[in-house]
Amino acid sequence: MRPLAAPGSGGSGGEREREKSDRRSNSERWIELGQEQQRAYVMRLLDALEVTDRDKRLKVARAILYLAQGVFDECDMDADVIHWSRHNVFLLYDMGIFTALLELLSMEIDNNQACSSAVRKPAISLADSTELRVLLSIMYLMVETIRLQTEDDRPEWRAAREAFKTELGSPLYNGEPFALLLFTMVTKFCSMNAPHFPMKKVLLLLWKTILFTMGGFEELQEMKVRGRERLSLPPLPEDSIKVVRSMRAASPPASAMELIEQQQQAKRGRRSRRPLVKQDSLDTYNERDPFKNDDARDEEEDGEEADSGIEGEVDPLDRDVIIQPPPPPPPLRPPTERASLPKGLPWAPKVREKDIEHFLETSRNKFIGFTLGNDTETLVGLPRPIHESVKTLKQHKYVSIAEMQIKREGELQQCPMTLVSDIALLKLLLAAAPTSKAKTDSINILADVLPEEMPITVLQSMKLGIDVNRHKEIIVKAISALLLLLLKHLKLNHIYQFEIVSQHLVFANCIPLILKFFNQNIMSYISAKNSICVLDFPHCVVHEMPELTAESLEAGDSNQFCWRNLFSCINLLRILNKLTKWKHSRTMMLVVFKSAPILKRALKVKQAMMQLYVLKLLKIQTKYLGRQWRKSNMKTMSAIYQKVRHRLNDDWAYGNDIDARPWDFQAEECALRESIEKFNSRRYDKNQNGEFAPVDNCLQSVLGQRVELPEDFHYSYEMWLEREVFSQPIQWEGLLQQAQ
């Protein structure tokens, strides 16, 4: 995170140190004040936030931001800045600063003068969003600091965390949750009504707010376990988070150019111990890849086990921090280490009820000549091997929460008056979604990174270029994490809430958009170095700033991988998996858009979690790619077998699935849409159970009912009367004849 301008942050390193010492000697230091003195000072700042002068209000907001950033001007070490930032944030929340900031944020959002001025401007810069950026920065620091738990938290801080979590998730702000206000900002920005909104900060704050109020992936796993217990379903066969963390990356398959090169070497008589080589995690770092095992003999002995790239990698979904890569493994491994590796497949196989029904239907048609519908218990007349097969299938039967919800929704549709359902209104996304299609005009996402004056030197241009690329990467990270988190929570809350958002994403071309994102040099994207370490907070405000040169900017940091970009890639792959899982029509979209070579190139990133979701996407479409593709990609097929969960009776490697019929694709989406509309009508329609409600036949009662009209109706009601009433000829004689 980069700090905004704060007291004493200008000038060179030596000048800033002298200014620090002068201020410390001339004024009282914040870190030396007592608790009551600090509270009194914050109270004065809170009162000053209510002044009408915009410049004075901004100055006070900057002072609050300086406190939230840890009064870095009085600190000598990074740890001191973090300590005082945490202390001050809890103090600010206790004094009610967040509520006051929320009122100011609402004023800025509703500032029509600023919006219209930004719309008319030919170019928008940082100066157009100064107030918004200061407010959002303070709120982000408060949400993120309070969200994270530490072992040395005080009891009052733990209580404040729970209170803040409840406050953010409750409709306390104008009758709506805080996240909905941020969604409104996204909607206004995308509709080009407020192009000056700093979208990077809005998206980051929105993501962290939902992460705090609704929970992350580990909380989702716990909620899933509790949900299965409530529905009396058997426990999960394994913890998916732990399984993925323990998986090892596989070597990517060789490309066509590499195969041609190997053939040419073979013709020249150059023998190679392993035909498929050049399987490093980053081709551009072959000479200094810390994960590369240079000993060819060890690779030959260990076979596929030596192809792992990153051993014991930390789950990038846990925390967004820069992780130093582990040290390189020793050149030779003792035999005992190989024996300790886990054997077998990482996932327990699963079987759906539909798979068992399909298997019995086929078997009954073959041996008896008729079927028994959905009956999976009666096995009369079937041979003994079929009995054993059904027994095995039932041992691995898995019933998901989504299947139970779909079954219950079917019962509610058949008997709407007899079953009672707890209604959980999910206003968060539905109320913020735009009603009309987004404009095709290009959206300027760089409004909160471009300065008023463009750079004039090479060094300034390089620094701005790095900032712009970093800015884009953070936006991709926030959007991908936000979408994935929402989809997972929606699916756990109710499957049809998940399906309606998924269908909106599909109709908005989300699938080709993600494929277009991966249709780049993904290795270069993963290894991008769009960061300047000396400018990272709090290093840049505590230590003396070294002189920046074009050479130092071009060299970048010492990390081989950009974990921010890896995080984004994994999120996008998981979103794509959720959109296409068990949807044949959407799987065919992957085939039509030729996603197989794009995804296969992504396997070159030797990270186990990313490879897992790439292999899942390849698995669901292998049956459509033809025998020749499967024959020439046997290493990929082997990796799918080793790392992806198996579904018994799933002919993914042969293409014999009778469900893969192209004429069913449109019907599948239409049937899903119909189920979604019934669900929305039953749960969210204001006139719930309208078909069964009594009808008011009294004329006076009906005419006396108060009808809610839109806000802009009184501006145009005269035109409406002229068009709909006065200009329409009325056949009075016909009306009289009908009345008689």
- Whether 309 shows a pLDDT value over 80: the answer reads no
Higher pLDDT, 739 or 241: 241
pLDDT of residue 276: 38
Name the residue among 227, 223, 221 with its Cα closest to residue 239: 221
DSSP for 521-568 reads -HHHHHT-----GGGSTTHHHHSPPPPP-HHHHHH--S-SS-HHHHHH
Of 102, 101, 127, 97, residue with least CA distance to 114: 127
Instruction: Retrieve residue 607's tokens.
Output: 């990270």
**CA separation, residue 221 to residues 215, 218, 398, 498 (Å):** 10, 5, 16, 17
What's the half-sphere exposure (Cβ side, CA atoms, 13 Å) at 218? 8
**pLDDT, position 104:** 93
Nearest Cα residue to 618 out of 631, 642, 599: 599
Does the pLDDT at position 442 exceed 70?
no
Q: Please state, in angstroms and rounded to a whole number, the distance separating the CA atoms of residues 260 and 274.
A: 15
Mean pLDDT value across residues 565-575: 94
Helix (H, G, I), strand (E, B) or coil at 176: strand
Summarize the confidence of residues 344-355 as an average pLDDT.
88
Question: Position 411: which residue type?
Answer: E
Stretch among 30-44, 593-607, 707-721 having the lowest mean pLDDT? 707-721
- Measured CA to CA, the distance from residue 552 to residue 529 in angstroms comes to 12
pLDDT of 136: 96
Residue of 18 and 648 predicted with greater confidence: 648
What would the pLDDT profile of 584-617 be if each residue is shown by its tens digit?
Answer: 889 999 999 999 999 999 999 999 999 999 999 9
**Separation of alpha carbons 199 and 132, rounded Å:** 10
What pLDDT, on the 0 to 100 scale, is given for residue 26? 52
Three-class SS of 441-479:
CCCCCCCCCCCCCCCCCHHHHHHHHHHHHHHHHHHHHHH
Per-residue pLDDT, averaged over 377-392, amounts to 89
What share of the chain in percent tops pLDDT 70? 76
Nearest to 72 by CA among 152, 145, 26, 17: 17
Q: Is the pLDDT of residue 331 over 50?
A: no
d(CA 184, CA 170): 17
Amino acid sitting at position 401: I
Whether 570 shows a pLDDT value over 80: the answer reads yes
Contact between residue 169 and residue 194 where contact means Cβ atoms under 8 Å apart: no
Q: Are 567 and 478 contacting, i.e. CB atoms less than 8 angstroms apart?
A: no
Give mean pLDDT, residues 412-427: 48
3-state secondary structure of 628: helix
- Residue of 480 and 557 predicted with greater confidence: 480
Residue 603, burial from CB neighbour count under 10 angstroms (0-12, 13-18, 19+):
buried
Mean pLDDT of 319-323: 35
> 180 by DSSP, 3-state: which?
helix
pLDDT-derived band of residue 437, with 50, 70 and 90 as boundaries? very low
Over residues 505-543, the pLDDT tens digits come to: 898 888 998 999 999 899 999 988 888 888 888 888 888
Segment 98-126, tens digit of pLDDT: 999 999 999 999 888 888 888 888 888 88
Instruction: Confirm if 32 and 165 have CB atoms less than 8 A apart.
Output: no
* Cβ atoms of 564 and 320 closer than 8 Å: yes
Instruction: Reply yes or no on whether the pLDDT at 4 is more than 60.
Output: no
For residue 291, pLDDT over 60 is answered with: no
Mean pLDDT of 430-440: 36
Residue 10 pLDDT: 44
If one compares 325 and 696, the residue with the highest pLDDT of the two is 696
Q: Which of 429, 379, 374, 376 is nearest to 407 (CA)?
A: 374
Task: Determine the pLDDT at residue 694.
Answer: 66
Average pLDDT, the chain: 78
State yes or no: pLDDT of 6 exceeds 80.
no
112-168 pLDDT, tens per residue? 888 888 888 888 888 888 999 999 999 999 999 999 998 888 999 999 999 999 999
What integer is the mean pLDDT of 238-255?
Answer: 82
pLDDT at 316: 37
* Stretch 48-57: mean pLDDT: 90
Percent of the chain with pLDDT strictly greater than 90? 37
Residue 320 has pLDDT above 50, yes or no: no
Write out the E strands in 260-366.
none
From CA 674, how far away is CA 683, in angstroms rounded?
14
What average pLDDT does this structure show over 413-441? 41
pLDDT at 256: 65
Gap between the Cα atoms of 164 and 98, Å rounded:
10
Across 203-212, 660-669, 688-697, the highest mean pLDDT is recorded for: 203-212
Phi, psi (rounded to 5 degrees) for 350: -125, 155
pTM, two decimal places: 0.77
Eight-class DSSP state of 664: G
User: Would you state the pLDDT for residue 597?
Assistant: 95
**How many residues comprise the chain?**
740
Q: Tell me, what's the pLDDT at 317?
A: 35
Q: Which of 197-206, 253-262, 361-370, 376-385 has the lowest mean pLDDT?
A: 253-262
- pLDDT tier at 449 (50, 70, 90 boundaries)? confident
pLDDT of 185 over the 60 cut: yes
The 10s digit of each residue's pLDDT in 724-740 is 788 877 777 776 676 55
Q: What single letter denotes the amino acid at residue 200?
A: K
Q: Which amino acid is at 608?
A: A
Pick the residue with more confidence: 720 or 105? 105
Mean pLDDT across the stretch 551-555?
A: 73
